[in-house]
Structure 1
Amino acid sequence: MSENLEETRPWLRVEKDDCPVSTPQQAWIESSMKWFAGEFGTEPLLGGIVLPGPNLVSGYSGTKRQIGRLIAGVCSVMSVKPSDLIVEFFDLRELKDEQARRGRLAVGHYYVEDGRPVIGLDISEASDPHYLTAIIAHELGHVRLLGEGRITAARKDHERLTDLLTVYFGFGIFSTNAALRFGESARGFSVQPLGYLDERTLNAARNEGYSRLGYLTEAEFGYAMSCYAWLRGETDPDWAGHLDPGPRAHLRQGLRYLSRCAREGELPTTRTDGVPVTINMLPGSPVPGLHIPFPVFTRSTWPPGEGKR
């Protein structure tokens, strides 16, 4: 009876404070965040969260020069030298039939040519700088993980790990919001693919007009953003308002859970190969001023509350 009331009268819902993802998902997210800290240091976490806004869209029309500036900005945050990259553009509208026959549709791709990383971007998505930023961040995540030999493509979760890395480097708002996307069509709405999503997966994911895109679920993105905020000492982050309602609700629930179960600057105990591990972020230095077309929030001290005791 009470569940029915909650469904019809959402204002009666009790705010949950349990973890918004399953135990295996939670362990994977937390242990991966710990691994990122070991691989990349805490600077990406502390350097600032990248925000969408008027600075990004003002005067933007999707020219190649503007896309180049966008790529340079994402490279700056993710510590990739733009000069080391080869960037190629393609139009998915022209390749759609061929790609569909091969069972794959992609708005971005990554590979290595003559020792240099190559990222490909679909220019048919160039008009949306927020969505394009998410694609660029994901492809540069491949550069940092695969291109630098930190993991191999044989690792089954490498695409999911790449999505999660965009959160760690401050692009979580873009990646999270881009994970669910609609485009108008003659029948109302059609789903636009993000990342390497084949048609079979795309069609299987359909549910009442919605389809989940990308590699992390909405709840996983939400909890990942909770962990990101918690490790930055943000229990009620102002930037949460930039998230779409669904993942924002998971973020809030995740923060309530962490407030109840984790110590400041730490994540709850996870398990790696059966051995309990406590994730504790060590002191680090924020990234110096970033000359990029994004506004950012930064922290100046770590751990949060340092010097107040």
Structure 2
Amino acid sequence: MNLIGAWRRRRRDRERLYGPKVVLPGGPEQWMEDSLDWLTGRFGVEPLRRPPVLPSVFVPRGYDGSEQAARELCLKVCAWMEVPDDRIRFSFRMDEVRAAARSAAVHRLNAEQCPEVAVSGLRATMTMAEVAALAAAGFEAEISVLAERELRAELQRSTAILQETNLDRRAELCERAEAIWSAPAGGGSRACWVDLRTGGYEGTAVMLSADVLADPATVVAAIAHELGHEVLWGYHLMDRQRRDAEAVTDLFAVFHGFGIFLANQAVEPVRGRRETLQSLGYLGERGASEALAAYCFRRHLLWPESPLPTMPTELDRPVQARTFARLSVMVAAAEIASIQEGAPLA
């Protein structure tokens, strides 16, 4: 038994579960400071002046897991983040809509008899009648935009496979494509933001999976992230092709006070398999804790009454430990710097 190999695999798996899902330029600590500087430059310090959002206060006591209750919670997040909601279509049938969009793309591929279809393994899970029924139920815009996206992506995959002459490389491309073909459309995600204007419609859509309705904390975490897309991408404040674009969107939610939700939801049991954990979000639990510590420290600098900033309550114990440890390091470093400058930290 290769103990070193097994240890490395466990370490790699743990990093994938708890660490950031994208490369953070300059390392997590420097990236966090640079990104918070950028957010402050864009939105000022007012978001930092408001208290962090506490789940026990923000989520209504009567939340019953219905679509209506979830919609009201979405609108409440919009109001807190000061994001206009009049052009956002909130819905809770993301899995069905994405399946319909992929099915529509497959039916188009087959009908148009493109040469690339010969190698395509994209599968339709709904008939055209079922797709049409869902479109008639109010999801025509979402299905149309996502179907076009699926179609373009599949044509690119299939064309790349057909044009590849290196057999090893072609086998690798086929393996990657099969991973997509065999997985549900949008599998693994809780929510998505769709710019409907790319399809000639008005506004944008934020769709959530019906699976998240029962947990209001997950609803809030997902919506806070997607509203980051609404602001940063919808208002063209950030290039969505940036490698760290999703991580910045997570940080946008933390910056606006929703760090407790994102950090607590970063690692969760898989529904129906509580012994199996899944990582949600792009910063991971470690990155979300780092972000929350940086957020607390910057709030502290606005009102430096105590040596150690007050950390938000209601954090899960592992997140609380990570956040407090990082916050302590930041405060100690600030105290050393202030002493060297001859002005002790208040």
| TM-score with structure 2 setting the length | 0.59
With over 3 angstroms needed to count, the CA separation of the structure-2 counterparts of 1:55 and 1:106, relative to structure 1, is closer
CA distance in structure 2 between the aligned counterparts of 1:103 and 1:128, rounded to whole angstroms: 20
The residue that corresponds to 2:322 in the other structure is 250
Task: Confirm or deny that 1:171 pairs with 2:249.
Answer: no
**Aligned pair partner of 2:310 in 237, 260, 280:** 237
**Aligned pair partner of 2:290 in 214, 223, 226:** 223
CA distance in structure 2 between the aligned counterparts of 1:244 and 1:69, rounded to whole angstroms: 25
What letter is aligned with 1:48?
A: P
DSSP 3-state at the match of 2:223: helix
Task: Confirm or deny that 1:32 pairs with 2:35.
Answer: yes
Task: Confirm or deny that 1:132 pairs with 2:219.
Answer: yes
CA distance in structure 2 between the aligned counterparts of 1:78 and 1:218, rounded to whole angstroms: 23
The residue that corresponds to 1:189 in the other structure is 274
Cα shift at 1:50: 0.6
Cα shift at 1:51: 0.4
| TM-score with structure 1 setting the length | 0.66
CA distance in structure 2 between the aligned counterparts of 1:150 and 1:137, rounded to whole angstroms: 17
Going by fraction, where is helix more abundant, 1 or 2?
A: 2
Q: What is the 5 A alignment of 1:20-169?
A: 24-53=27-56, 56-90=59-93, 92=95, 100-102=183-185, 104-113=187-196, 114-169=201-256
CA distance in structure 1 between the aligned counterparts of 2:46 and 2:237, rounded to whole angstroms: 18
Cα shift at 1:128: 1.0
Once the two structures are superposed, residues 39-81 of structure 1 have per-residue CA deviations (whole angstroms, 9 ceiling, x without a partner) of: 1111111122110116624111122322222111100111111
Once the two structures are superposed, residues 100-154 of structure 1 have per-residue CA deviations (whole angstroms, 9 ceiling, x without a partner) of: 2447332111111135121111222111111110011011010111011011221
CA distance in structure 2 between the aligned counterparts of 1:43 and 1:261, rounded to whole angstroms: 25
Structure 1, unpaired ranges of 5+: 1-20, 191-208, 268-303
Cα shift at 1:25: 1.0
CA distance in structure 2 between the aligned counterparts of 1:112 and 1:257, rounded to whole angstroms: 41
Aligned residues: 227
Computing the radius of gyration from Cα coordinates, the structure with the larger value is 2
Q: What root-mean-square deviation, in Å, do the aligned CA atoms of Structure 1 and Structure 2 show? A: 3.0
With over 3 angstroms needed to count, the CA separation of the structure-2 counterparts of 1:229 and 1:93, relative to structure 1, is same
Question: Percent of aligned positions with the same letter in both sequences?
Answer: 28
- Ranked by relative contact order (alpha carbons within 8 Å, sequence separation 6 or more), the top structure is 1
Cα shift at 1:255: 1.3
Structure 2, unpaired ranges of 5+: 1-23, 100-122, 126-181, 301-305, 339-344
What letter is aligned with 1:262?
A: A
Going by fraction, where is strand more abundant, 1 or 2?
A: 1
CA distance in structure 2 between the aligned counterparts of 1:55 and 1:147, rounded to whole angstroms: 26
DSSP 3-state at the match of 1:210: strand
Q: Contact 1:91/1:124 (CA < 8 Å) preserved in 2?
A: no
Runs of 4+ more than 4 Å apart = 93-99
The residue that corresponds to 2:18 in the other structure is none
With over 3 angstroms needed to count, the CA separation of the structure-2 counterparts of 1:261 and 1:244, relative to structure 1, is same
